[in-house]
Amino acid sequence: MRPLEGITVVSLEQAVAAPFASRQLADLGARVIKIERPGSGDFARHYDGTVNGQSSHFVWINRSKESLELDLKSEEGKEILHRLLAKADVFIQNLAPGAVDRLGFGAETLQEQYKDLIICGISGYGTDGPYLSKKAYDLLIQCEAGLVSITGTEDTPSKAGISVADIAAGMYAYSGILTAIIQRSKTGKGSVLEVSMLEALGEWMGYPLYYSKYGGKEPARTGASHATIYPYGPFPTGDEKQVFLSIQNEREWQRLCENVIGDGSLATDVRFQSNTVRTQNKSELKPIIENAFRQYTAEQLTELLEKEKIANARLNTMEEFADHPQLKARNRWRGVETPAGQIQALLPPATFETFEARMDPIPQVGEHNEKILAELGFSDLEIAQYGQEKVAGGK
């Protein structure tokens, strides 16, 4: 038995943040009913068509869910959502600011009607303040939180290559909901929580924030290197490949000097004897390391670094990561069914001895309309009529 079996989540969700949170709950056994627009569904379904004609974002974060089409501008659609919430444990939404309130499903209204319901709202900037109505896409939040200012090269600020603001918000919504479930088990009462993308990503910005606020200067953009640690980042090898180092203690630095670079005196050189001075004098140290590394191929160098227990990595492409020997050895891949055939997906990172995460199919838009409406007491005739007239707004 998975720990969240028996928990029902109704999620009025779109894009990434809320679907990412609800999928984590589904992984642990919760029943997740995904409310989608009639016809087109969640717009993230149409971001691209790279996964057998399906969106890569969508297949990543929407497995193990049931899809119900609802026209929430219609009274019938609102009534169905109310019937669902009356039986639900958790309600998640990440619509545009004020949208759920206009529909009649604001947190205050729901809290009065459903005393034990856990209500989670995810937004860009929170439910008040001057940025309340500001559009909040992932790139924009990365900019507002300062992430873009410290990412990239000296000349070119860059965004992160994944939707880190959405993911951060989704993870805090997930952990917040788990906290609320525990709290309800003690008090018998539901609760309201909100997560803003700006504040979620702001938590992840702790190091550069403190460095700047108390150090008096902004962290430098250093590409794949590090603003305050050296040697750290990519170094070329003799076969024109790159090996990445991450020297974070003096023991490894000494072993690198003695057994890889071949000059033990560097470890005690006043220019390089601590991380602070190495960072200050990296323009002098960099060519010394590069000249030494050109004696090796990338494979020879990584083998030597491993032998000396010096932190290193190879720069994998996404294809190489998909074929990573560690993931294969640990049996981390599972087949997941989609409307366009089976795909491979990684198991969630939290591994339990007593159960395996659920990896059920990814739904089509409205795939579970009839099943869910029948559970709510609708007759076959009403379900047929609803499908023809009301789910699609009378179309």
Please write the tens of the pLDDT for every residue from 9-53.
999 999 999 999 999 999 999 999 999 999 999 999 999 999 999
**224, part of any domain:** no
**175, part of any domain:** yes
**246 and 118 share a domain?**
no
Q: Which of 289, 315, 341 is the last residue of a domain?
A: 315
Q: pLDDT band at 204, cuts 50/70/90?
A: very high
pLDDT of residue 123: 97
**255 and 185 share a domain?**
no
Q: Which of 315, 343, 369 is the last residue of a domain?
A: 315
- Rounded percentage of the chain residues whose pLDDT exceeds 70: 98
Q: For residue 161, what are its two tokens?
A: 């290559």
Task: Answer yes or no: are the C-beta atoms of 382 and 52 closer than 8 Å.
Answer: no
Q: Is the pLDDT of residue 237 over 80?
A: yes
Among the residues of the chain, which ranges form H helices? 17-27, 56-61, 75-87, 99-103, 107-113, 138-144, 147-150, 164-187, 197-204, 206-215, 250-255, 275-280, 282-293, 298-307, 318-322, 325-329, 369-375, 380-385
Is the whole model's pTM more than 0.95, yes or no? no
Q: pLDDT band at 176, cuts 50/70/90?
A: very high
Structural domain of 236:
232-315
Catalytic residue positions, numbered: 226
Number of domains in the chain: 2
Q: Is the pLDDT of residue 394 over 60?
A: no
CB hemisphere CA count around 190 (13 angstroms): 22
pLDDT of residue 395: 39
**60 and 100 share a domain?**
yes
Q: Is the pLDDT of residue 389 over 70?
A: no
**164 and 274 share a domain?**
no
**162 and 253 share a domain?**
no
- Rounded percentage of the chain residues whose pLDDT exceeds 90: 92
pLDDT digits 0-9 by tens, 371-388: 999 999 999 988 888 776
Q: pLDDT band at 392, cuts 50/70/90?
A: very low
Q: For residue 366, what are its two tokens?
A: 């409205």
**90, part of any domain:** yes
**69 and 194 share a domain?**
yes
Q: Which of 266, 289, 315 is the last residue of a domain?
A: 315
**161, part of any domain:** yes
**38 and 122 share a domain?**
yes
**82 and 181 share a domain?**
yes
CA–CA gap between residue 298 and residue 314 (Å, rounded): 8
Q: Is the pLDDT of residue 307 over 90?
A: yes
**153, part of any domain:** yes
Q: Is the pLDDT of residue 390 over 80?
A: no
Task: Answer yes or no: are the C-beta atoms of 193 and 181 closer than 8 Å.
Answer: no
Give the position of tokens 């560690």: 326
**193, part of any domain:** yes
Closest among 199, 213, 6 to 89, alpha carbons compared: 6
CA–CA gap between residue 165 and residue 203 (Å, rounded): 11
**42, part of any domain:** yes
User: The domain spanning residue 38 has which CATH number?
Assistant: 3.40.50.10540
**116 and 143 share a domain?**
yes
**89 and 114 share a domain?**
yes
CB hemisphere CA count around 143 (13 angstroms): 7
User: The domain spanning residue 265 has which CATH number?
Assistant: 3.30.1540.10
Task: Answer yes or no: are the C-beta atoms of 120 and 193 closer than 8 Å.
Answer: yes
pLDDT of residue 393: 46
CA–CA gap between residue 8 and residue 161 (Å, rounded): 33
**296 and 371 share a domain?**
no
CA–CA gap between residue 117 and residue 107 (Å, rounded): 10
Establish whether the linkage from the previous residue to 231 is cis, with ω within 30° of 0: yes
Q: pLDDT band at 124, cuts 50/70/90?
A: very high
Give the contacts of 130 (CB within 8 A, at least 6 positions apart). Answer: none
pLDDT of residue 11: 98
Q: Is the pLDDT of residue 100 over 60?
A: yes
**92 and 239 share a domain?**
no
Task: Answer yes or no: are the C-beta atoms of 4 and 355 closer than 8 Å.
Answer: no
Alpha-carbon separation of residue 226 from 160, 232, 270, 365 (angstroms): 15, 6, 21, 45
**192, part of any domain:** yes
